[in-house]
Structure 1
Amino acid sequence: MIVTREHSYPFIPYRPERYPEDEMLRRGRGFYELMDQRRSVRFFSDDPVPRECVELAVRAANTAPSGAHQQPWKFVLIGDAETKKRVREAAEAEERRNYEGGRLPPDWREALAPLETTSDKAYLETVPWLVVCFAEKYEPRLDGTKRKHYYVNESVGIACGMFIAALHTMGLSTLTHTPNPMAFLTEICERPSNERPYILFPVGYAADDAEVPDLTRKPLSEVLIEMP
């Protein structure tokens, strides 16, 4: 469907609530502690997840800031078993070329080795939902011209981060799966040429016996640089 959103926005008052300092810190620490528990999961339960949970996560993602408020993203929801099977088979075919076929460069293989990832993506069929985020390069106009989108990668990346945070807040798990190349997702999801696959998210509960690498995150002193 071709749509246009070229218009001027009215400006309205914005008065976000200001909290006392102790409440600000309490909220900030609580959010940090919640997100610090988040891990990428590759072992999922097949227990059903309410569709509304995924919808709420997409709603949260849709609040993300974007270049010129163009919101250059689409989220495709897959729950059908046959379609999930097609996605898994296509993803594994590409990953086998990466892992077993030598397409991954040596330095990338070395970086991945401690995580013990392989071309096996069985979880793509196990999870109740797959969500594929597509980035819109441009938007077709009714007259056949193209409305260019700006800061697409930055905008879609922020939206995906908010999607992940929303899932984790609800007790759900996911993984940022980016098989390369990902053109098969365009075909399976029947998306137009102005969109490109960005991230494939399996969405569900972590399996009861799920394990993750015992990783540590960089300390604040390494990621926050204060100018003199």
Structure 2
Amino acid sequence: MTAPSPRPHAHPFVPYRPERLPVADGLRRGQELFEHLDSRRSVRFFSPDPVPREAIELAVRSANTAPSGAHQQPWTFVAVQDPGLKHQIRLAAEAEEKAFYERADIPQWHGALSQLETDANKDYLDVVPWIVVAFAQKYGVTGAGRQKHYYVNESVGIACGLFINALHTMGLATLTHTPNPMGFLTKILDRPTSERPYIVFPIGYPAADCEVPDLTRKPLDEALIWR
């Protein structure tokens, strides 16, 4: 039986008593988490080996723990395993990417991507066992009509970060693929106009011969300012 709250509330509240760790244990856990996340890389070379449905479910459950504006959780994850649908996504994504790479008016953008050696070919979308597309709910739809959502981009971005973390924790790899524009995903995946595509996640195990660019991460003194 839940103990009554010492404060009056108009809505249900429950006690929150997380474990308070000794400082040394907390720092150790923080270091372990950093080292784990620092080993994560975005992958473009995938194995076709199957990934269990339960892994996708766990990753989305992890995403669902994200904080969100007014706790509206304005995200939908669509998991695609069907080869025909995956191929449709690949063809549409490659068409958009081809147009992007052929644009002559964005040389700086192309230059920034050059170190990644990416191009319009997205053959991994046919190879991976799963494509998961995160959709942002621009507004909710209830029996009473539209429900305004707050801080949608921030909320969905945090959820996607936890989703990526969960995949990495299970030994899986992914890539944040954002072809522009992405409206074709709404049609292919039969999503309502209240949602917009946010990120495409190809998901699988890295290929046996997988390679990634030799990059370094931003140093702490550039990412953190003390005041």
TM-score range, shorter chain: over 0.9
- The Cα offsets for residues 47-89 of structure 1, whole Å up to 9 and x where unpaired, read as 0011101110000000100000000000000001111000000
Per the normalisation by structure 1, the TM-score is: 0.94
| Stretches (4+) displaced over 3 A | none
- Match runs of 1:172-183 below 5 Å: 172-183=172-183
- Match runs of 1:27-176 below 5 Å: 27-100=29-102, 102=103, 105-143=106-144, 145-176=145-176
Whether the aligned pair in 2 keeps the contact of 1:44 and 1:123 (CA below 8 Å) is yes
Indicate the RMSD between aligned Cα atoms, in angstroms. 1.0
Structure-2 change in CA distance of 1:78 and 1:109 (3 Å): same
List gaps (5 residues or longer) in structure 1: 1-7
- 1:5 — aligned with what? none
Aligned AA for 2:107?
P
Whether the aligned pair in 2 keeps the contact of 1:98 and 1:104 (CA below 8 Å) is no
Residues in 2 aligned to 1:212 and 1:141: alpha-carbon distance in whole angstroms: 45
Residues in 1 aligned to 2:104 and 2:136: alpha-carbon distance in whole angstroms: 25
Percent identity for Structure 1 against Structure 2: 65
Deviation at 1:22, TM superposition (A): 1.5
- The Cα offsets for residues 139-159 of structure 1, whole Å up to 9 and x where unpaired, read as 12213x311000000000000
Residues in 2 aligned to 1:214 and 1:9: alpha-carbon distance in whole angstroms: 51
Residues in 1 aligned to 2:164 and 2:46: alpha-carbon distance in whole angstroms: 16
Per the normalisation by structure 2, the TM-score is: 0.94
Deviation at 1:128, TM superposition (A): 0.3
Residues in 1 aligned to 2:136 and 2:104: alpha-carbon distance in whole angstroms: 25
Q: How many residues align?
A: 218
Residues in 1 aligned to 2:25 and 2:129: alpha-carbon distance in whole angstroms: 37
